């Protein structure tokens, strides 16, 4: 039906944002970097620059685009969330990413954390348990040219042994304990950032693997959605 194809062309997939709105979003992004990140102790210039480069509003549900640079987490698909910008920045800074690093992320979600990591290092492997979320995020990261992020669908509590050992592992969902499986996939001297605790609140931990010892440090309280899998929460 010719009428229908005309209609389809008139309905864009994404809401059209005009030049003025794009400029406003860029301004919000810079303000986020200065006030929410630099203003609260994120000092690594490479990390701050990564947050300047990644257009966070494209990782957010359409109706929430203009909240993308606000100081709180936002809902994504399947009842999951994209973390508050400061939390993503703190975890990234504490992970201590170097340009040659290979990083494993557990919990791809919107792909925002993965995109930030991809600005800072060679290769990012990211595991997501929902195929629906993984597919949507893969499409977005392709459109934005993040070809150094590999998304794997599966239970991230088992890690991704194929590409181990990793220089760093970042877990972006709440774990009841530190999974041994992930520790085993860290190289000696490797770092892991992981929220550990109950269902309602957790402690953000920085774990450094030193031979067969683990050095642990608390980075403060936090609240993440649950890490569900064989070495995490049952459901
Ligand atoms: N890093 C994400 C945060 C997403 S929220 C971002 O930047 O948007 C946490 C994600 O972890 C959710 O998408 C959830 O589905 C996923 N998740 C929970 N348990 C998991 C597991 N065992 N393996 C892989 N992904 C898991």
pLDDT top residue among 7 and 143: 143
210 beta partners: 213
User: Does ligand 1 come within 6 angstroms of the Cβ of 159?
Assistant: no
**pLDDT one-digit tens code per residue, 63-86:** 999 999 999 999 999 999 999 999
User: Going by CA atoms, what residue is nearest to atom 23 of ligand 1?
Assistant: 156
User: Does ligand 1 come within 6 angstroms of the Cβ of 118?
Assistant: no
- Tell which atom from ligand 1 comes closest to the C-alpha of 113: 7
- Range name among 5-9, 52-56, 180-184 with the lowest pLDDT average: 5-9
CA of 20 to the centre of ligand 1 (A): 34
Instruction: Report yes or no on whether pTM surpasses 0.75.
Output: yes
Distances (CA, A) of 124 to 56, 108, 218: 18, 11, 24
Give buried/exposed letters for 69-79 (b at 16+ CB in 10 A, else e).
beeebbebeee
Cα gap 188→209, rounded to integer Å: 6
Catalytic residue positions, numbered:
83
CATH of the domain at 196: 3.40.50.150
Give the number of domains in the chain: 1
Residue 16: predicted pLDDT: 74
User: Does ligand 1 come within 6 angstroms of the Cβ of 85?
Assistant: no
Residue 49 three-state SS: helix
User: Does ligand 1 come within 6 angstroms of the Cβ of 106?
Assistant: yes
The helix (run of H) or strand (run of E) holding residue 92 is helix 85-95
| Mean of pLDDT values over 124-133 | 97
CA of 7 to the centre of ligand 1 (A): 37
Q: Vertex 91, ends 52 and 175: CA angle to 5°?
A: 140
| Mean of pLDDT values over 174-188 | 98
- Residue 189 CB burial class (10 angstroms; 0-12, 13-18, ≥19): exposed
- Inside any domain, residue 9: no
CA of 128 to the centre of ligand 1 (A): 6
- Inside any domain, residue 120: yes
CA of 35 to the centre of ligand 1 (A): 27
Please, which residues have CB within 8 angstroms of residue 72's CB and are 6 or more apart in sequence?
84
Contact between 114 and 149 (Cβ < 8 Å): yes
* Structural domain boundaries, residue 80: 15-222
Please, which residues have CB within 8 angstroms of residue 122's CB and are 6 or more apart in sequence?
99, 100, 101, 102, 148
Contact between 115 and 145 (Cβ < 8 Å): no
């Amino acid at each position: 039906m010719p009428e229908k194809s005309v209609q389809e062309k008139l309905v864009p997939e994404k809401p059209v944002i005009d030049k003025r709105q794009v400029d406003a979003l860029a301004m919000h992004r810079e303000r986020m970097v200065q006030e929410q990140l630099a203003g609260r102790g994120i000092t690594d210039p490479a990390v701050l620059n990564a947050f300047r480069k990644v257009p966070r509003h494209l990782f957010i549900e359409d109706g929430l685009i203009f909240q993308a640079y606000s100081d709180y987490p936002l809902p994504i698909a399947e009842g999951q969330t994209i973390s508050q910008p400061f939390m993503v920045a703190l975890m990234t800074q504490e992970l201590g990413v170097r340009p040659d690093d290979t990083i494993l992320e557990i919990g791809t979600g919107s792909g925002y954390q993965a995109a930030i990591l991809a600005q800072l290092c060679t290769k990012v492997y990211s595991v997501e348990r929902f195929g629906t979320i993984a597919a949507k995020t893969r499409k977005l990261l392709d459109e934005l040219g993040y070809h150094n992020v590999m998304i794997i669908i599966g239970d991230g509590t088992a890690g991704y042994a194929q590409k181990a050992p990793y220089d760093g592992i970042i877990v972006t969902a709440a774990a009841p304990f530190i999974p041994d499986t992930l520790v085993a996939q860290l190289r000696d001297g490797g770092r892991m950032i992981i929220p550990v605790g109950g269902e309602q609140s957790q402690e953000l931990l920085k774990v450094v693997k030193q031979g067969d010892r683990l050095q642990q440090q608390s980075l403060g309280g936090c609240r993440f959605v649950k890490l569900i899998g064989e070495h995490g929460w049952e459901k």
